[in-house]
Amino acid sequence: MTDFTPKDPDFKDRVVENFALQTLMKTLGAQLVDIQPGKCEIVMAKRDDLCQQHGFLHAGITTTLADTAAGYAAFSLMPKGAEVLSTEFKINLLNPAEGKRFSARAEVLKPGRTLTVVRSDVWAEDETGQQTMIATMLASMICLLPR
Amino acid sequence: MTDFTPKDPDFKDRVVENFALQTLMKTLGAQLVDIQPGKCEIVMAKRDDLCQQHGFLHAGITTTLADTAAGYAAFSLMPKGAEVLSTEFKINLLNPAEGKRFSARAEVLKPGRTLTVVRSDVWAEDETGQQTMIATMLASMICLLPR
Amino acid sequence: MTDFTPKDPDFKDRVVENFALQTLMKTLGAQLVDIQPGKCEIVMAKRDDLCQQHGFLHAGITTTLADTAAGYAAFSLMPKGAEVLSTEFKINLLNPAEGKRFSARAEVLKPGRTLTVVRSDVWAEDETGQQTMIATMLASMICLLPR
Amino acid sequence: MTDFTPKDPDFKDRVVENFALQTLMKTLGAQLVDIQPGKCEIVMAKRDDLCQQHGFLHAGITTTLADTAAGYAAFSLMPKGAEVLSTEFKINLLNPAEGKRFSARAEVLKPGRTLTVVRSDVWAEDETGQQTMIATMLASMICLLPR
């Protein structure tokens, strides 16, 4: 939608380091596969121990992927020394979360000094490589700077 | 807020059985501790492998607890044979998710033949037993009946 | 995003008739300017009697436009005889609602037999014709059929 | 839920003055009927020119009332000189917006230096005085201070 100029030229390193601090990402086996100014993609393989009652990926895990990608899409545009936190998000679940691999792709809609609004969609990929959008999120990320 | 009359007198058994099918709940060590008509509580101990970058519980896990409690609060009022799915939810994160134990407490605001709207709050409990509300969710749950 | 096939070939007439029943649209001077399968655009001129405390368009009116466009985007794909109602929506306000003309553009993300999920963005146009996105909405629309 | 101490002892005057600046409130015939620290109520009589296609109050107007009450509930706790803006909100529409009078009642859930989270419910009152909750909103309000 828009090209964003990062305030910190080392934003990629900063995102990679920060992602490595999230113990949940390791627990889920989630990986950061792309980070660009205002954009982020995170992928995770299907796992049978992360499901809801029908054997689909639990909506909470779909949300976790979307939220994390949204956070780093926002974080990529924040200045060095900033911290990022989710203040709120809303997700619509569009299709059953079935597939062998899930991918959350986030894109900043509006960067801000304090709040950054991000859209984050989650896609499921089946055995044949076909992808279906299973969820869409709107999230607000806050930038916290040391005072 | 309101007293609800369950359509299925065996709603508790149905919820307990359904909860046991959610492999994610076992993975998280989450437990169903209360189920009443239109109400549900789920608790989970803090775990270091479910955190975000500051060592707080990841917002995705806070959301998972809130969503699951909301789903069963709605499911408790649905007829025998029904399936429940989250169609959407929105969560505001109010305070850092720090504590030794987390509790999601959901309450139906409006039951419906098709859609049930649920509020679900998440509380953190510290070492001294003091509780702080860390998040509040509004969720829509859909009732699917075999045709 | 997707091409949608309307179930009712007379969907345009149905939308136009339905829009004319919304007395609020007349009160606001809002106009239906485009209706396609799964898409809708509504425009309104700036008015000084619809503002918040800083003289910008009130967020409630921005929301009204977004919601109405979302409703008709969904309605365009519903069968003859259906009624449409908003069940919930979430809006992020991205920029000050200043301009001489506002346009809400909605697009169905996922049509469904019961629920249809719609994205609806609101744009402000200034004196020079430049457009700025001021808000983005995710909405759930329900299809009600006579039983 | 909580008792809040206002930072500005003249918060009521400040809210009343600010409300009077919202031209939309005059256009709708909406009135500020109660303002307490962290709480606000706004009422409006049913009007036939603010309806959707079934003759119910338009969801956009229900939202306008909820948003405005939420904004002033937050504003009541902000320091002198602050400005308040809605950054986002989500509303679930629970029951048809029919009645002779509508009332939005907002309550701060979490005040913050920058963001304040507010719950705002809308009630419809019928001819007999009976009230029904027709909508519930979660909103984020931002505090802007002159730099």
Mean pLDDT across chain D: 97
Closest CA to C24 of D96, D54, D89: D54
* Contact check, Cβ <8 Å, A54/B83: yes
Best of B107, B110, B113, B141 to substitute, by most chain D Cβ atoms within 10 angstroms, is B110
Residue B131: pLDDT band by 50, 70, 90 thresholds? very high
Query: H or E stretch including B20?
Result: helix B11-21
Q: Using CA atoms, how far apart are residues C24 and C49, in angstroms rounded to an integer?
A: 14
Closest CA to C144 of D63, B145, B38, B112: B112
Instruction: Write the pLDDT tens digit of every residue in A55-96.
Output: 999 999 999 999 999 999 999 999 999 999 999 999 999 999
Average pLDDT over residues B80-85: 97
Cβ of residue C87 closer than 8 Å to a chain B Cβ: yes
The predicted pLDDT at position A2 comes to 67
| All partners of chain A with 3 or more CB pairs under 8 angstroms | B, C, D
The predicted pLDDT at position D3 comes to 76
C67-85 in b/e burial notation, b at 16+ Cβ within 10 A?
Answer: bbbbbbbbbbbbeeebebb
Exposed, middle or buried by CB within 10 Å (0-12, 13-18, 19+), for D83?
middle
Closest CA to D16 of D29, D30, D35: D35
Average pLDDT over residues B110-134: 97
Residue type, D13: D
The predicted pLDDT at position B77 comes to 98
Helices marked H in A22-140: 23-28, 59-75
Instruction: Write the pLDDT tens digit of every residue in B133-146.
Output: 999 999 999 999 98
Sequence ranges of the domains in chain B: 11-144
Mean pLDDT across chain A: 97
Q: What is the pLDDT along chain C (147 residues), one digit of tens a residue?
A: 567 999 999 999 999 999 999 999 999 999 999 999 999 999 999 999 999 999 999 999 999 999 999 999 999 999 999 999 999 999 999 999 999 999 999 999 999 999 999 999 999 999 999 999 999 999 999 999 987
Q: In chain A, which residue's Cα lies nearest the Cα of D91? A: A90
CB under 8 Å to C89, separation ≥6 — which residues? C63, C66, C67, C70, C120, C137, C138, C139, C140, D59, D90, D91
Q: Could you say which of 3.40.1390.10, 3.30.420.40, 3.10.129.10, 3.20.20.10 is the CATH number of the domain covering D11-144?
A: 3.10.129.10
User: What interface predicted TM-score (ipTM) does this complex get?
Assistant: 0.97
Instruction: Write the pLDDT tens digit of every residue in A102-143.
Output: 999 999 999 999 999 999 999 999 999 999 999 999 999 999
Instruction: Write the pLDDT tens digit of every residue in D86-140.
Output: 999 999 999 999 999 999 999 999 999 999 999 999 999 999 999 999 999 999 9
Name residue A83's beta-bridge partners. Answer: A144
The predicted pLDDT at position A26 comes to 98
pTM of the model: 0.97
CB under 8 Å to C144, separation ≥6 — which residues? C82, C83, C84, C85
Residue with tokens 């303002």: D35
Q: Which long-range CB contacts under 8 A does A3-6 form with residues at least 24 apart?
A: A3/A37, A4/A37, A4/A38, A4/A76, A4/A77, A4/A108, A4/A111, A5/A37, A6/A37, A6/A76, A6/A77
- Residues listed for chain D: 147
Report whether C86 contacts D95 (CB < 8 A): no
The predicted pLDDT at position D2 comes to 67
Average pLDDT over residues B50-55: 96
Closest CA to B120 of D37, D66, C138, A59: A59
CA A29 vs CA A67, B76, C41, D118: distances in Å: 16, 33, 42, 36
Instruction: Write the pLDDT tens digit of every residue in A100-110.
Output: 999 999 999 99
Residue with tokens 């939309």: D24
The predicted pLDDT at position A147 comes to 77
Average pLDDT over residues B96-120: 98
| All partners of chain C with 3 or more CB pairs under 8 angstroms | A, B, D
Name residue C136's beta-bridge partners. Answer: C92, C121
* Contact check, Cβ <8 Å, C87/B140: yes
The predicted pLDDT at position C2 comes to 67
Extract the tokens encoding B32: 């169903």
* Contact check, Cβ <8 Å, D109/B117: no
